[in-house]
Structure 1
């Protein structure tokens, strides 16, 4: 098997390569050539940690495997990021393990790539202002990735802890865009595209905040109970998801569905837009992409990294 260490990922995987991998896997999912396995995610009763597994099989890309990992909220005290994971790939012909790949940076890159795919296909025509809700570790990856797919002219941002907004300001400057901190009502009325990436358990962006043609990439909700958007806002939007079954159980749309405001059948797989089987935003004023994060995304970027590592002689071969 091959091992690609976490320390080597940054020199191998770019936002552009991650985008290509994620766009392709969304298309394969919508074409029923790839499917995700049921997610296992549990509080382990130690260090307040959440731990679990995401996996799947992509027959189009011949990728089989799983990501093991989770969220350790006290890791910052140890000088580590809170999210920790490793991706394991298996040979679909024999079942033998073929690779172990550091998953921390890959998770950040594939999450940012997923929202960028949604923005490529669903952003309102002529979108100029990007709104960012959340200024945590993932927010910088989101900004860098979206700058590769759409020519925004300005970034506006809000965070529950305003002292963290420096990360957004610095990243916006890095990609050559002006940044302004605003309140949520102004963000909702001025932003053409909004990325929400928080760990909230109550609505932050309200229906009354959002005015005019808008696309929202809701990227923070991946657990029962988490919530970033007002269900009334979800109810008046055209809805898209990476994986519909996951969206209605642990994703942003779980709340509107549970309240009877939205039918599961109204949600469209983003890959159907990529494939041309769905028209995308059409005449909808508001579109929302619920990016819950699926195992196939992790496998796609991990497989791409292994191939790049082999080409550059970085992959370590280990006999098992």
Structure 2
């Protein structure tokens, strides 16, 4: 079995490689060449943590495995660790033997940012110039860096429940040479693209905060009960997702479906747009929304790519397991 420690991931995986892996996985899912296993996600009753498993099998790439991990909200304050902790395990699909164990923290951040970035590439207007960020935590910095590579944005606006955290995303914007402005939620009407990346259980972004033609990437809702945007916003939008079953059960769409505002059949796979079997955006005034629930196949794809790179560079650790 090969081990690629967390400490080596930053020198192996790039945003471009993560984008490519995630885009291919979405396409494979829509073509029914890859599928995800049901998600297990539970509050463990200790340290307010959410813990679970995401896995799947990509027949085309022969990638089999799972990611184990979750969200420990007290980590940063108590221990100086990031709140999201995870590890990816890969298995030989021919024999079932363990093939690799890969540090999943940075990979999770990169693949989550890649997913919203893929949605911007395929769904945002070509003339999008203002990007809005809701959330300013650790993951938000990855989201913004990846998103700024998809369009010629000339302004970043941001809102966070705790305004003291906004310098996190202001720094990213400044490094990219793009002006940053903090705004009230109503100010999101200026944005052509909005990324919401929080761990909220009550909506911040309301339907009247969004202008016609906007693309929204909702990236924080991955558990039953979580909610970042008003359910009425999904009724105004054309909704896309990574996986429909997850979207309507643990994603942002869970609330709109429960309230009868949209049906499960209204939610489309982003992979179908990538494959050309769905037209995606059809007008400049259309609101598009990507419900990024985070699927196990994303983790497996980026982990498999990292293992290949680690072997190529001679830094993978081999153990007899």
TM interval, shorter chain, is over 0.9
Distance 1:217 1:46 in 2: 31
Matched, 1:207 2:207: yes
Taking the TM superposition and a 5 Å limit, the aligned residue runs for 1:122-201 are 122-187=123-188, 189-201=189-201
Structure-1 residue corresponding to 2:89? 88
Taking the TM superposition and a 5 Å limit, the aligned residue runs for 1:263-274 are 263-274=263-274
Contact 2:4-2:310 at 8 Å conserved across structures: yes
Structure-2 residue corresponding to 1:36? 36
Distance 1:229 1:166 in 2: 23
Structure-2 residue corresponding to 1:300? 301
Q: Deviations over 1:55-77 (max 9, x none)?
A: 00001111000001111122111
Unpaired runs of 5+ residues, structure 2, are none
Shift in Å, 1:281: 1.0
Q: SS of the counterpart of 1:169? A: helix
Q: SS of the counterpart of 2:70? A: strand
Structure-2 residue corresponding to 1:79? 80
Unpaired runs of 5+ residues, structure 1, are none
Q: Deviations over 1:73-110 (max 9, x none)?
A: 22111111111110000011111110000000000000
Shift in Å, 1:148: 2.1
Superposition misfits of 4+ residues, deviation over 4 angstroms = none
Q: Deviations over 1:268-308 (max 9, x none)?
A: 10000000000001126100000000000000000000001
Q: Deviations over 1:222-241 (max 9, x none)?
A: 11111111111110100100
TM-score, L = length of structure 2:
0.98
Distance 2:164 2:9 in 1: 30
Q: SS of the counterpart of 1:17? A: helix
Structure-2 residue corresponding to 1:7? 7
Distance 1:204 1:46 in 2: 27
Q: SS of the counterpart of 1:64? A: strand
RMSD: 0.8
Contact 1:16-1:148 at 8 Å conserved across structures: no
Contact 2:126-2:151 at 8 Å conserved across structures: no
Contact 2:194-2:217 at 8 Å conserved across structures: yes
Q: SS of the counterpart of 2:311? A: helix
Shift in Å, 1:212: 2.4
Distance 1:40 1:200 in 2: 19
Shift in Å, 1:258: 0.2
